[in-house]
């Protein structure tokens, strides 16, 4: 039973649709809560399969596969390593120079 959990596909925002349902980039963007331009860029990069039939159209199965391909999983090393603090841009010096006196503005 435990092995079944390992091989189960993760749920996607497209699971309620039939795999052959046709979506526009705006439909996909609405489901993912991203801008439609992000979806169109993924199509232009070749990451998301689409066809040109009265505009760009994507099958729900292809959108789900693209979404699964972008999943990020934590590695054991990354989870166990301590967080590094970013270096300070400017170190404060105990011997700071005094500020110049303010002049009156007219």
Query: Is the separation of the CB atoms in 17 and 60 below 8 Å?
Result: yes
Q: pLDDT band at 5, cuts 50/70/90? A: very low
Its pTM stands at 0.61
Q: Could you give the domains of the chain?
A: 20-72 (1.10.1660)
Average pLDDT (81-94) is 62
The overall average pLDDT reported for the chain is 81
Helical residues (DSSP H) of 10-99, grouped into ranges: 25-32, 36-44, 60-69, 76-80
Q: Is 4 helix (H, G, I), strand (E, B) or coil?
A: helix
- CA–CA separation, 2 vs 24, rounded Å? 38
């Amino acid at each position: 039973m435990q092995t079944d959990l390992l091989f189960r596909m993760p749920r996607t925002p497209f699971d309620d649709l039939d795999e052959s349902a046709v979506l526009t980039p705006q439909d996909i963007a609405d489901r993912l809560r991203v801008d439609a331009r992000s979806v169109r860029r993924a199509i232009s990069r070749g990451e998301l399969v689409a066809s040109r039939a009265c505009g760009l159209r994507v099958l729900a199965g292809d959108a789900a596969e693209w979404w699964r391909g972008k999943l990020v999983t934590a590695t054991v090393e990354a989870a166990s390593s301590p967080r590094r603090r970013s270096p300070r841009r400017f170190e404060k010096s105990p011997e700071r120079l005094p500020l110049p006196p303010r002049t009156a503005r007219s």
